[in-house]
């Protein structure tokens, strides 16, 4: 959590003023570290849904620069979510068609949404779907690598303010349009020929990287590797009438990209098609897909994307046809603070990163990584905590994780609570980037460990997930 002396509070104070938020609310950008009671309160549950276009303006240098400015728009980028009320202060779940948000971009949106929903930031869980056709936002890194008058920094700040305004208005407008929730439904379907591991063990002990698309027949012929093939669906219903359906599936979601178009890609296409056909509000969350992608089944062509769309569409429709309903009389929300670490190798040090930023010969990619690393290091040095969340409703427990977590954490969460229907959303605050198993730091080859800024975190994250899924009250719960 941000302390009052944090240098980032200058940015937060400025953004609070620009957005018209009193500083007492702006200070809530700091992540709260307490938890709610784990017992489900018996009271009526109501849900409101919201959706809003958050597409960036075309031909504007918005975001960190992982992708060039968009020239065309195939699909609008959407922020979609729900507000649950009836057990304590409202809870908000929101999924955005963005690549990533880091640090104060996450905190700013969380605080604005909390204000609009008449709740607190620690009861707002935000996630990106991680499409690589969409912006990645990190104002802290931009402050380190770009001058104040940089067109990218100016365009990104304006865009972030606009999105915060739009989502807050959508949330506030949705509250009067609430529906009673009497049942929660669970269902799942196996998705065939879609997800595949990005980290493949070779005979010599090294790791081969198979990314979101590949034309290499050797890489495509290798096994799927470790994945979670199950798409999980949580249905909120009024009687037998579905009101909202939340879907969770673990894989990087992009098919082909880099052609300067905006698209919500495979999951967005299926999500919106299903909503149109059923009339039921649909939200999709990317699970622990940090080390999972389409690579085995995707050669980067439009035809391959069509096949992926049809496979996910088939699975989603199978899932929503197999819902088992359970009566609901309340829900419980829980948060657990985690203090992740930082990398200790010389190339991740503050001194090295500052040297990269000051060197005019450094490439843009080198400067970008140095700034993102510095921003994360500052959070660790400030003693900042990252909150993990859990929603319990009926037999369902939904775990909400930060970063790009590996699929092993999703599989572990399911094993920890075998009597619950466990779904997992990843890609929350991505300030630390990848969160893999500790073995990645001794692997030869692969890719993700070069951006795993928190360092070895396996035991820390598994302990936090176990704490979330525990039904026992903990000190500090309220």
User: How far apart, in whole angstroms, are the C-alpha atoms of residue 136 and residue 134?
Assistant: 7
C-alpha gyration radius of the chain: 21
Distance from C-alpha of 420 to C-alpha of 418, rounded to nearest angstrom: 6
For 440-478, the pLDDT digits (tens) are 999 999 999 999 999 999 999 999 999 999 866 443 333
pLDDT at 40: 54
- Residue among 153, 157, 156 nearest 144 (CA): 153
Q: For residue 332, what pLDDT is reported?
A: 97
For residue 258, the model assigns a pLDDT of 87
Task: For CA atoms 134, 198, 405, 80, give the dihedral sign.
Answer: positive
Q: Which residue positions in the chain have pLDDT lower than 50? A: 1-38, 473-478
Query: According to the model, what pLDDT value does residue 43 have?
Result: 76
- The reported pLDDT for the residue numbered 2 is 47
Name the strand (E) or helix (H) holding 410: helix 407-416
> Domain spans of the chain?
9-32+40-469
Q: What is the pTM of this model?
A: 0.91
- 366, exposed or middle or buried, with CB in 10 Å at 0-12, 13-18, 19+? middle
What is the distance between the alpha carbons of residues 385 and 126, in angstroms, rounded to a whole number?
16
């Amino acid at each position: 959590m941000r302390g009052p002396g944090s240098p980032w509070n200058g940015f937060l104070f400025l953004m609070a003023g620009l957005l018209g938020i009193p500083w007492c609310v702006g200070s809530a950008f700091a992540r709260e570290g307490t938890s709610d009671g784990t017992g489900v309160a018996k009271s009526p549950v109501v849900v409101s849904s919201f959706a809003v276009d958050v597409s960036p303006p075309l031909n504007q240098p918005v975001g960190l620069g992982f992708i060039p400015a968009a020239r065309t728009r195939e699909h609008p980028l959407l922020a979609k979510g729900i507000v649950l009320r009836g057990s304590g202060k409202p809870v908000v779940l929101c999924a955005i068609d963005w690549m990533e948000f880091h640090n104060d971009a996450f905190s700013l949106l969380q605080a604005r949404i909390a204000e609009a929903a008449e709740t607190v930031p620690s009861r707002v869980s935000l996630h990106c779907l991680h499409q690589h056709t969409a912006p990645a936002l990190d104002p802290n890194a931009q402050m380190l690598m770009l001058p104040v008058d940089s067109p990218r920094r100016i365009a990104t700040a304006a865009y972030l303010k606009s999105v915060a305004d739009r989502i807050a208005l959508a949330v506030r407008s949705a509250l009067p349009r609430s529906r009673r929730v009497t049942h929660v439904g669970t269902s799942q379907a196996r998705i065939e020929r879609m997800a595949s591991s990005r980290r493949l063990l070779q005979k010599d002990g090294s790791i081969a990287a198979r990314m979101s698309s590949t034309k290499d027949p050797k890489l495509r012929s290798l096994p799927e590797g470790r994945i979670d093939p199950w798409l999980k669906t949580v249905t909120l219903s009024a009687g037998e009438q579905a009101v909202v359906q939340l879907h969770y599936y673990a894989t990087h979601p992009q098919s082909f990209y880099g052609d300067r178009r905006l698209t919500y890609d495979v999951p967005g296409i299926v999500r919106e098609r299903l909503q149109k056909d059923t009339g039921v509000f649909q939200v999709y969350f990317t699970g622990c897909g940090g080390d999972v992608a389409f690579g085995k089944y995707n050669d980067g062509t439009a035809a391959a994307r069509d096949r992926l769309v049809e496979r996910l569409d088939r699975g989603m429709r199978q899932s929503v046809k197999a819902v088992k309903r359970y009566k609901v009389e309340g829900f419980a929300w829980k948060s657990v603070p985690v203090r992740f670490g930082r990398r200790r190798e010389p190339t991740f040090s503050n001194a090295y990163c500052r040297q990269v930023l000051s060197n005019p010969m450094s490439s843009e990619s080198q400067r970008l990584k140095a700034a993102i690393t510095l921003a994360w290091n500052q959070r660790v040095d400030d003693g900042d905590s990252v909150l993990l969340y859990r929603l319990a409703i009926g037999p369902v427990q939904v775990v909400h994780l930060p970063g790009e977590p590996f699929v092993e954490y999703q599989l572990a969460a399911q094993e920890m609570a075998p009597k619950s229907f466990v779904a997992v959303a990843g890609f929350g605050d991505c300030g630390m980037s990848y969160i893999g198993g500790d073995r990645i730091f001794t692997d030869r080859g692969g890719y993700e460990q070069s951006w795993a800024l928190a360092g070895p975190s396996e035991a820390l994250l598994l302990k936090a997930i176990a704490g979330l899924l525990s039904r026992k009250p903990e000190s500090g719960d309220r």
